[in-house]
Amino acid sequence: MKIEKKFQPFTVLVNNFGFNKSNSYCLKKISIKLLLFGFFSLSAQDTNSIENIISKLSIEEKIAMCHAQSKFSSSGVPRLGIPELWMSDGPHGIRAEMNWDDWQYANWSNDYVTAFPALTCLAATFNPDLSFEYGINLGEEARYRKKDVLLGPGVNIYRTPLNGRNFEYMGEDPFLAAKMVVPYVRGVQENGVAACVKHFALNNQEQWRGHINVEVSDRALHEIYLPAFKSAIVEGNAWAIMGAYNKFRGQHCCHNKILLNGILKDSWGFDGVVISDWAGTHNTNEAIYNGLDIEMGTPSNKNKSVRFPYDSNFLGNSFLDKIINGEVSERVLNEKVARILKLMFRTSLNKNRPYGNINYESHYKTAYDVATEGVVLLKNSNNLLPIDISKKIRIAVIGENAEKKMSSGGGSSELKVDKEVSPLYGIIKEFNNATIEYAKGYSSDDNQNNRQLKSKAIALAKDADVVLFIGGLNKNSFQDSEASDRKAFKLPYGQPELIKEISKHNKNMAVILISGNAVKTSWKYDVKSIVQSWYLGSEAGNAIASILSGEINPSGKLPFSFPEKLSDNGAHHYGEISYPGKNNSQLYKEDILVGYRWHDTKNIIPSFCFGHGLSYTTFELFDINTNKNKYRLNEKINVACKVRNIGNVEGKEVVQVYVGKENSKVKRPKKELKGFKKVEVNRNEYVEVNINIPVKELAYYDENIASWKIEKGNYIIYIGNSSRAIVKEIKIKIL
């Protein structure tokens, strides 16, 4: 456990600016100037007047603030005590320090952090209170590491299970993502660290992400792909947002006029800073006029002899020349600088922000709580789980993922962790009365003999009382990883065949899937139990073991659907024009029918549905009703129900409320999530649940008027504990 001291030696100050020994010579001068002029020495008059500060800046100084000066920082103005702005990946932990001007790690000794569960797991908790706690803890670690901007959270919608970056996002439903992102943003920013919501927008695949042009209807854009971003901005008051790599309607998203000017800044009133994704900027004029404020990423100047080539970026010298030559008004530059200064007043120039801390026990506790609440029990025939820890049984643990560390790899979100408990270690510690033997079974390393590994695993499984197969995906390329999509829907490395073969010799098998994506589960009838356990971070092994032993009763719910086969997914149904695209462009032909909306409307049965998640106890939903059956536009629909625990152990259940329109004049999904509530219920007791749904949230986006419209008439309220486990339907009318 580490506690930040208020006063630190000068060498630590230099290190905290991200410098290493090889590049610190001229940078120490900058740090000295900051000390001499006062890091937070702006007068009260300057603090209250951004225009006053701007008037003191030269054009060159203002330009420098609009683009990177290193891989993860932009320039300050030392002569005025204006600090640099320091950023860090990523959404579930603070990335290790990088060198100033290349993509190699700086190899510091003080940048070990807590790995929190990936955001798919956070979404699976269906618990906004936990999301706030997650944000608080993550923000504390960012603040300790002297970061001003945290590059997260990610809220791009889960459109295809092949997207390599889905594990960083919050699932397929815009309502769930919106409700979970707001407390995350608020929690991070309580530490004086800006949450930079990403990737705005339509970054729904990694394949061809740098040039694919997305064509999608205005209705799908506003109903499916923008709501989480909008909530993060309007309700969460996020201070920064990151543009996406892809194009939208022919224009790159990092300088897209429709997205950044029209929607984000004009319609939503965003007063923060738009930051480009790294090397996501492609055009000077568009970057100047279409809403981009800070350009980050690989410099345009590839001349390795140039020490600091970032002046060559699109918002660098070319921007400067256009202002000097009178081609661009300085007012355009001032507007960008004003936003940047406002961000600084909220972060690096905020004298009241806390110091932060790192690797606290409370952080590990939060990581554990999120992990255990996010784990989803998909199947549990004959109550194979939980396993009694008091029994002296033989447990065979099989699978590479039982010992594989998952915090490293996966792209920009990889972490250098203070600790990461493996599933195997957690199981050994939890089941200390059992005889536990391990076999790798399969390998992601092509150099290993998978046939030999398979034979050893089968031999071990034959004599075991219980088999725990710990497999799934990993963070290698073409798995769950940035910059590439998965090549296949099925489990890799021969796992399906291995699972089926083991099941012939031992039926008492539980499969624990570690992944951030749905996988093909054609083998699901060969095993008794299936657990979806995500990338759980530092406390992974402890969390998994607690679920397997019943110390924690699972309560996670799937934030996305598991289709039976890839063509059952709406994005893949229409062929390559819809995914991954054709001739550098793709059309979202499934339109608003994403995820369970597609499955339910088309009556395609998924392998496991959105919102699904079992428990070690049994819940009963009863006394379900609405406060009335007719509503006017300014009213709220109150859905009330009681949740009784009729099983033997306490547990948590998620009441889910969906709404559908009868005989709609426009195309609609059969039902859409409009409310949920997670409650804890002791055995033989019940709790009352009330969920309020404003009538205005039943609106659809009418492209004819470019606005939201509520269709009057009859609606159906669906109440249950998953999208396909509906306990009661109630008809209401909107007047």
277 is catalytic: yes
- On the question of pLDDT at 114 being above 70, the answer is yes
Closest CA to 607 of 127, 161, 159, 205: 161
My answer on whether 252 and 387 are in the same domain is: no
For 343-378, the pLDDT digits (tens) are 999 999 998 999 999 999 999 999 999 999 999 999
- On the question of pLDDT at 100 being above 60, the answer is yes
DSSP states of 271-299: -SEEEPPTT----HHHHHHSS--BB-SS-
Structure tokens that stand for 142 in this block:
């960012």
CA distance 192 to 147: 9
My answer on whether 396 and 353 are in the same domain is: no
Closest CA to 570 of 160, 208, 169, 162: 160
Residue 668 sits in a domain whose CATH number is 2.60.40.10
What pLDDT is stored for residue 20 in this prediction?
34
Q: What percent of the chain has pLDDT over 70?
A: 92
Q: 578 lies in a domain?
A: no
- On the question of pLDDT at 7 being above 50, the answer is no
**Structure confidence at residue 449 as a pLDDT band (50, 70, 90):** confident
Q: 593 lies in a domain?
A: no
- On the question of pLDDT at 302 being above 90, the answer is no
* R_g of the chain computed on alpha carbons: 26
Residue 387 sits in a domain whose CATH number is 3.40.50.1700
Average pLDDT, the chain: 92
My answer on whether 556 and 624 are in the same domain is: no
Domain termination site, one of 560, 579, 605: 560
Average pLDDT over residues 272-278: 97
Residue 185 sits in a domain whose CATH number is 3.20.20.300
Average pLDDT over residues 247-269: 98
Range of the domain at 434: 375-411+420-560
Q: Which residue has the higher pLDDT, 302 or 220?
A: 220
My answer on whether 628 and 553 are in the same domain is: no
CA distance 432 to 29: 57
CA distance 309 to 261: 29
**Structure confidence at residue 102 as a pLDDT band (50, 70, 90):** confident
Average pLDDT over residues 163-190: 98
Buried b (16+ CB within 10 A) or exposed e, 457-466: bbebbeebeb
Number of folded domains that form the chain? 3
What pLDDT is stored for residue 5 in this prediction?
28
Are the beta carbons of 721 and 644 closer than 8 angstroms?
Answer: no
Q: Which residues contact 404 (CB under 8 A, 6 or more apart)?
A: 422, 444, 474
What pLDDT is stored for residue 13 in this prediction?
28
Domain termination site, one of 537, 560, 583: 560
What pLDDT is stored for residue 49 in this prediction?
81
What pLDDT is stored for residue 304 in this prediction?
56
My answer on whether 509 and 464 are in the same domain is: yes
Beta bridge mates, 215:
587
My answer on whether 537 and 637 are in the same domain is: no
**Between the CA atoms of 531, 126, 414 and 2, what dihedral angle is there, to the nearest 10 degrees?**
-110
- On the question of pLDDT at 30 being above 70, the answer is no
My answer on whether 304 and 445 are in the same domain is: no
Closest CA to 713 of 672, 676, 659: 659
Query: Which pTM does this prediction carry?
Result: 0.92
My answer on whether 12 and 66 are in the same domain is: yes
Name the active-site residue from 111, 277, 369, 568: 277
Give the least confident one: 310-319, 336-345, 348-357, 444-453.
Answer: 444-453
Average pLDDT over residues 651-671: 97
Helix axes 128-144, 174-189, angle to 10 degrees: 40
Q: 581 lies in a domain?
A: no
What pLDDT is stored for residue 689 in this prediction?
98
- On the question of pLDDT at 387 being above 50, the answer is yes
My answer on whether 383 and 464 are in the same domain is: yes
At position 552, the amino acid (one-letter code) is I
Q: 709 lies in a domain?
A: yes
My answer on whether 279 and 236 are in the same domain is: yes
- On the question of pLDDT at 15 being above 80, the answer is no
DSSP states of 718-731: EEESSSS-EEEEEE
What pLDDT is stored for residue 94 in this prediction?
97
How are strands ordered across the β-sheet holding 630-631?
A: 630-631, 726-734, 713-720, 651-661, 672-681
My answer on whether 548 and 647 are in the same domain is: no
CA distance 29 to 135: 35
My answer on whether 315 and 446 are in the same domain is: no
For 136-148, the pLDDT digits (tens) are 999 999 999 999 9
Are the beta carbons of 386 and 454 closer than 8 angstroms?
Answer: no
- On the question of pLDDT at 64 being above 50, the answer is yes
Q: 157 lies in a domain?
A: yes
